[in-house]
Amino acid sequence: MANRMSAIFIEHINWKEAEKALTKEAVILIAIGGQCKEHGLHLPLDNDWILAEYLKNRMAERFPLVIAPTINYSYYPAMADYPGTVSLRSQTASMMFVDVVRSFARFGPRHFYFLNTGISTLNPLKAAAEELQTDKLIVHYTDLGKHLSECRKTLEEQPGGSHADEIETSMMLVIAPEKVRMDLAVPDFDDQPGPLSRSRKPGTAYSPTGAWGDPTLATKEKGQALISCLLDGIAGDIEFLLRSARS
């Protein structure tokens, strides 16, 4: 879908201009990217923030969206054992999403898209979407697993993983290569289920580095393919919402 209108970053306009932008036909994009969330030794705590900002800006180039500021805190319990990680309770995260949507919806919009860069965030997003259905508000959100599954099948070499791993590191080599410290990347994959832990204890996946997978297998070429798949998947989600908002 070609974009013949500009996206609006709502924090850059005044309230009178916001009133004109917040129509019933508007689709509001709200990105979520942890800014204090460990990503192993080779990636920064703001890894997901960087990813969210990149994806948000790419969507702004393609669609006439109203774009909210990126949410930098959410529910990240699997990384809570590592210094610097901030994790809200699931209910707190969910109700924050609800309050943000309802604040915008008071002025007209009925369609919302959370550009989600996490996995644990799926549960509070699902709860928020269900809560907002009672207001007749339509809320969709990114499912990274769905959008990246086909690409992963053809590109992935690591035996397993999903955090600061081959996949995530490959994408960062494209988006922000200056932030990636490949000299500190090491394989770190304990196939036990559970949150990551710096010490061996029941019910956790032991990870001395905070990564879960093999980031040493990351390449820029893989990252380019993965980013392309992810952008196409998110664009498809947004196109669906734009059609729904206009019907």
For residue 239, being part of any structural domain is answered with yes
Distance from C-alpha of 172 to C-alpha of 226, rounded to nearest angstrom: 10
Query: How confident is the model at residue 87, as a pLDDT?
Result: 98
The answer to whether 13 touches 68, Cβ cutoff 8 Å, is no
Is 1 domain-assigned? no
Could you tell me if residue 151 is inside a domain?
Answer: yes
Q: What is the pLDDT along the chain (247 residues), one digit of tens a residue?
A: 334 468 999 999 999 999 999 999 999 999 999 999 999 999 999 999 999 999 999 999 999 999 999 999 999 999 999 999 999 999 999 999 999 999 999 999 999 999 999 999 999 999 999 999 999 999 999 999 999 999 999 999 999 999 999 999 999 999 999 999 999 999 999 988 899 999 999 999 999 999 999 999 999 999 999 999 999 999 999 999 999 999 8
Q: Is the dihedral of CA 140, 50, 25, 23 positive or negative?
A: positive
- What's the confidence (pLDDT) of residue 105? 98
The structural domain count of the chain equals 1
Q: What is the CATH number of the domain that holds 117?
A: 3.40.50.10310
- The phi, psi pair for 196, rounded to 5°, reads -75, 145
Q: Does residue 3 belong to any structural domain of this protein?
A: no
Structural domain contains residue 203: yes
Residue 219: which domain range? 8-246
Residue 118 maps to a domain: yes
Tell how far CA 214 is from the center of its chain: 21
CB contact set of 180 (below 8 Å; sequence gap of 6+):
42, 43, 169, 172, 173, 218
Residue 23 one-letter amino acid: T
Q: Is residue 2 part of a domain?
A: no
SS3 27: strand
Alpha-carbon gap, residue 127 to 137, rounded angstroms: 13
